[in-house]
Amino acid sequence: MSSKGRGAISCGGRLLLWAMLAAGILLVAGCTTLAGGTSRTGGTYPFDIFPEMHYQQSFKAQEPPRLLPPVGSVPQSVRTARKTGQELYTINCAACHGSQLRGDGPALQVMRQTYGYAPLMDPDLTAAVVRQLTDQGVLAIVMGGVNVMPAFRNLLTEEEAQRTVDYVRQVAAGTPPSSQPLPAPSDGAVGTVERGRQVFTINCAACHAIEGLSTATVGPDLTHIGTVAATRRPGMTAEQYIRQSILEPGAFVVEGFLNIMIPTFGQILSTGDQDAVVAFMLGRK
């Protein structure tokens, strides 16, 4: 074979070698990418790469949690007591569904008799059609809402929603709910305004919007109620207007909204909680 032929073969071999090398690089690049600090290999779950080891995620169940808060620290928003399922139901549901779950609450009665509202679902929570729903189905309705019923996903924790569902199930099944009191957490004292925020979130945010807290549209938007309240009734201060609106909701009905606010907050809320929610609302300028 001539030297010219051997040179041609050698050149072809080099080209083949380079082609194989390029194919290998493309194959590896297709399987593993490093972009934006995320690694993914062959369809596995992506994980973040941090330069400091103590920021890494825990990949094994036996690993301790990372970056624990200081011992004894208290979150900004805390609850002073855990409520039972019956208490949660009374606060959030009884106005429409009734104290005995029969769908005869005062707010719903006003909507039906005065405004001709016809529920799409049976509001009687002891009805067969409701009892046939799974626990997850009832929980989904509580958290997501249905028709005019607001969504409670931003008002109740999953644990609170589940306790409410458990209570409804027990009563509907004819089983007396447990009366064993829940222990109060040792979270420390909460300021009056912060307590008012909690009371509002639990009792009012299902119907009333406040920027950054709730987007409900059943009742008037209260984002600036601290300023607006002073202009609603001549001779009344903002505090007097807000307090009377809570205790006697039918006294002042904003144009364009229904008179369906539960009229028993004077019995549901303690005097301290009434003062706290008024203080919180006065601060909404």
pLDDT at 243: 94
Q: Examine the pLDDT at 257 and tell me if it is beyond 80.
A: yes
In a domain, 21, yes or no: no
163: domain CATH number is 1.10.760.10
Q: How many whole angstroms separate alpha carbon 174 and alpha carbon 186? A: 34
Percent of the chain's residues with pLDDT above 70: 69
In a shared domain, residues 128 and 204: no
pLDDT at 57: 55
In a shared domain, residues 102 and 134: yes
In a shared domain, residues 204 and 143: no
Please return the burial class of 38, using the count of CB atoms within 10 Å of its CB with bins 0-12, 13-18 and 19+: exposed
In a shared domain, residues 89 and 163: yes
Lowest-confidence pick of 1-5, 170-174, 223-227, 247-251: 1-5
Domain count, the chain: 2
Lowest-confidence pick of 26-30, 103-107, 115-119, 253-257: 26-30
The residue with greater pLDDT, 281 or 18, is: 281
Element (H, E) at 39: strand 38-41
The answer to whether 192 touches 273, Cβ cutoff 8 Å, is no
Please return the burial class of 250, using the count of CB atoms within 10 Å of its CB with bins 0-12, 13-18 and 19+: exposed
In a domain, 204, yes or no: yes
In a shared domain, residues 132 and 100: yes
- What tokens appear for 252 in the block? 């002042």
In a domain, 56, yes or no: no
In a domain, 264, yes or no: yes
In a domain, 11, yes or no: no
In a shared domain, residues 162 and 217: no
Q: How many whole angstroms separate alpha carbon 110 and alpha carbon 139? A: 26
Percent of the chain's residues with pLDDT above 90: 16
In a shared domain, residues 209 and 259: yes
Q: How many whole angstroms separate alpha carbon 2 and alpha carbon 64? A: 72
Mean pLDDT of the chain: 75
The residue with greater pLDDT, 47 or 103, is: 103
In a domain, 234, yes or no: yes
Question: What separation in angstroms does the CA of 266 have from each of 27, 96, 100, 167, 270?
Answer: 71, 18, 20, 24, 7
In a domain, 202, yes or no: yes
pTM of the model: 0.42
**pLDDT tens sequence across 115-157:** 777 776 788 998 887 787 778 778 888 888 777 788 888 888 8
In a domain, 40, yes or no: no
In a shared domain, residues 166 and 203: no
Lowest-confidence pick of 106-110, 144-148, 183-187: 183-187
Question: What separation in angstroms does the CA of 34 have from each of 15, 25, 43, 58, 73?
Answer: 29, 14, 14, 20, 38
Enclosing domain of residue 142: 85-172
In a shared domain, residues 209 and 150: no
In a shared domain, residues 235 and 168: no
